[in-house]
Structure 1
Amino acid sequence: MASRRKLKKDIDFLTFEVISDCYNYIYLHPGNEEKVIDIIKETVANRNKLVARVNHPDGKDNAKLVKAHYKAVFKELIDNTDASFTKLSELIKA
């Protein structure tokens, strides 16, 4: 990871992409608002958790531990985003 700032921007970008797609779905398909709002709430909670983890890395003295920590945060970001898009995709198919 290049920097914490870039990682935070990536977290915000992917989170807002999920939220944007959720609101587009609500606009185009009224009636499933509760399920989509749950996806949005889960996405925002994951965003807040990831930003907190970025701000407080494990093992500040050891560079390898810090690098591993940020890689784990980035992997979790990708996994959470994929899960959110999958849930939204399942709603679209239904």
Structure 2
Amino acid sequence: MASIKNLKKDIDYIVSEIISDCYIYLYFNNNANEDKVINIISKSVELRNDLFHRTNNPEKNTEKKVSKQHYKNIYKDLLENSDNLFGQLSSLSK
């Protein structure tokens, strides 16, 4: 990972893609499954807030390896949770 700045940009980009896909789904499906889609949107906002909190508040006085692993775990959580949310949305459209 290049920098914390790029991590934050990735978090914002991926979460905004989830949210925009949810709104596109609602638009093209005449608000079908609206409660479930709103739930996916709220989970994605919670994910963004949690990841930003973890990014902005790392453990103090840690070794470089520990700090690097901390940010790798954040990135891993971003990818796993976003894949899960995209999967939930795609299961609604089947």
Provide the TM-score with structure 1 as the length reference: 0.95
- Residues 60 and 7 of structure 1: is their aligned pair in 2 closer, same or farther, counting only changes over 3 Å? farther
Task: Name the counterpart of 1:10.
Answer: 10
Identity %: 48
Contact 1:58 1:65 in 2 (8 A): no
Contact 1:50 1:77 in 2 (8 A): yes
Q: Distance in 1 between matches of 2:41 and 2:87?
A: 13
Q: CA RMSD in A?
A: 0.9
Task: Name the counterpart of 2:41.
Answer: 40
Aligned length: 93
Task: Name the counterpart of 1:50.
Answer: 51
- Equivalences for 1:43-82 in 2 at 5 Å? 43-82=44-83
Q: Distance in 1 between matches of 2:6 and 2:51?
A: 13
Contact 1:60 1:66 in 2 (8 A): no
For residues 14-49 of structure 1, the C-alpha deviation after alignment (integer angstroms, 9 at most, x for no partner) is: 000000000000000122111000000001001100
- Residues 2 and 60 of structure 1: is their aligned pair in 2 closer, same or farther, counting only changes over 3 Å? farther
Q: Which amino acid aligns with 2:42?
A: K
- Extract unaligned runs of 5+ from structure 2: none
Provide the TM-score with structure 2 as the length reference: 0.95
Task: Name the counterpart of 1:27.
Answer: 27
For residues 42-67 of structure 1, the C-alpha deviation after alignment (integer angstroms, 9 at most, x for no partner) is: 01001100000000113543100000
Contact 1:59 1:65 in 2 (8 A): no
Displacement over 4 Å in runs of 4+: none
